[in-house]
Amino acid sequence: MRRAVIAAARRMNRLGINRGTSGNVSVRVNEGFLITPSRLPYDAMRPQDVVALAFDGTQRSARSRRPSTEWRLHAAVYDARPDVRAIVHAHPTCATALACLRRGIPPFHYMVAVAGGSDIRCSAYGTFGTQALAEAAVAALRDRRACLLANHGLVACGVTPDDALALAVEVEALAAQYAHTLQIGEPVMLDDDEMRRVQERFRDYYAGRRSPGRHADD
């Protein structure tokens, strides 16, 4: 599990949805979770560097590194959402640009439903690393698998770190498409009935699969 967290964190940067030591990855284990440490380059990270935390933030080893400053966000999402097993938080360019406008991603494209609903919300603002940000993320993720964080970045949830990463990549692609569309004009939105039909088809298409970050017409 520690290796899976590190692998997802490294791929997050190589895929271009994050840079440097920003962003973080976690996975649920037993009565807590494993999360990337603070301020350690991902390429230098080793399994023993990944931090084991209880949901209240208590570290499970006195000799471990400091956890990511966003551990509260991860803990709050796990507490509110028993279905979430892994989380990726990143700062991709287009999703972050929309988040800085406090603008979510509406149903301009059917793949928006991959995040679990008819839109991808943008959360209220909260200072990084605070409980306020954690609570804002939980609210924006209600009935969703991903959200934007106001003036900050994005959060994507999944069954495994790779699953959450695949969704984060898809959300960034949608953010880029939406931003490009807005340069031309206002997109025609899909209505609620169509988005419900897409969600039903997604449930069938992704049944038993662990990587929903692919187009359902592939």
- In the prediction, which pLDDT does 128 show? 98
DSSP 188-216: PPPPHHHHHHHHHHHHHHTTT-S---S-T
Residue given tokens 């959300």 in the structure block: 171
Say if residue 59's pLDDT is above 70: yes
pLDDT of residue 207: 67
pLDDT at 210: 47
Is the per-residue pLDDT at 179 higher than 50? yes
CATH number of 2-205: 3.40.225.10
pLDDT the model gives residue 203: 85
Q: Which of the 8 DSSP states describes residue 207?
A: T
Residue 63 confidence class, pLDDT cut points 50, 70, 90? confident
pLDDT in tens, 130-175: 999 999 999 999 999 999 999 999 999 999 999 999 999 999 999 9
Considering the chain, what percentage of its residues have pLDDT values greater than 90? 89
Q: Which of 70, 170, 172, 194 is catalytic?
A: 70
pLDDT, mean of residues 28-56 = 96
- The pLDDT value recorded for residue 212 is 47
Tell me how far apart the alpha carbons of residues 147 and 115 are, in angstroms, rounded to a whole number.
8
Q: What is the pLDDT of residue 208?
A: 54
Give me the pLDDT at residue 110, please: 98
pTM of the model: 0.93
pLDDT number for residue 144: 98
Is 70 catalytic? The answer is yes
Q: Residue 62 has what pLDDT?
A: 67
Is the pLDDT score of 104 beyond 60? yes
Q: What is the pLDDT of residues 105-121, one digit of tens each?
A: 999 999 999 999 999 99
pLDDT of residue 171: 98
**What's the CA gap between 154 and 22, in Å, rounded?**
12
Q: Is the pLDDT of residue 209 over 80?
A: no
Residue 22 has pLDDT above 70, yes or no: yes
Identify the CA nearest to 213 among candidates 156, 148, 155.
156
User: What is the pLDDT averaged over residues 168-187?
Assistant: 98
Question: What value does the mean pLDDT of the chain take?
Answer: 94
The residue ranges of DSSP E strands in 49-177, in sequence order, are 51-54, 86-90, 146-149, 153-158
